[in-house]
Amino acid sequence: MIRKILILTVFISAFVISTAFAAFNMQSVSLDVFFAQWQLPLAVLLIAVLLVGLLIGATLIALSTLRIRYENHRLVSKLQNAEQELNSLRILPVRDSH
């Protein structure tokens, strides 16, 4: 219960701070890209940059997770093959040369 209240407090605080930031930073800035030019409020530009960073980070994390899942699948298959080989060796009779 305390955890939920703490998380809710953090989100409400972030919302209030970001709303105040956006209200105080409404001056227009010029964004020049190779082929275009835009006039945007500073808050909108910062939110767009943060969202692009979030998308890039989420993509990198997803790719890393896929790589780890693939490696895990490969190792599980390798373990199953080793266990099958070990079980087949346990079945063989032991030959003694004496």
Q: Is residue 96 part of a domain?
A: no
Of the candidates 26, 51, 57, which has an alpha carbon nearest to the alpha carbon of residue 40? Answer: 26
How many separate domains does the chain show? 1
pLDDT at res. 32: 87
pLDDT in tens, 8-66: 999 899 889 988 888 888 889 888 888 889 898 888 888 888 899 999 999 999 999 99
Q: Is residue 27 part of a domain?
A: yes
Q: How far apart are the C-alpha atoms of 39 and 88, rounded to whole Å?
A: 72
Q: Is residue 98 part of a domain?
A: no
Q: How far apart are the C-alpha atoms of 53 and 46, rounded to whole Å?
A: 11
Q: Is residue 40 part of a domain?
A: yes
What's the domain range around 70? 2-91
Q: Is residue 80 part of a domain?
A: yes
Question: Does pLDDT of 93 surpass 70?
Answer: yes
- pTM of the entire structure? 0.63
Backbone angles phi, psi at 29, to 5 degrees: -120, 155
Please spell the DSSP secondary structure of 5-60, one letter per residue. HHHHHHHHHHHHHHHHHHHH---EEEEE-SS-EEEEEHHHHHHHHHHHHHHHHHHH
Q: Is residue 13 part of a domain?
A: yes
Q: How far apart are the C-alpha atoms of 7 and 9, rounded to whole Å?
A: 5
Question: Does pLDDT of 98 surpass 70?
Answer: no
Q: Is residue 79 part of a domain?
A: yes
Q: Is residue 97 part of a domain?
A: no
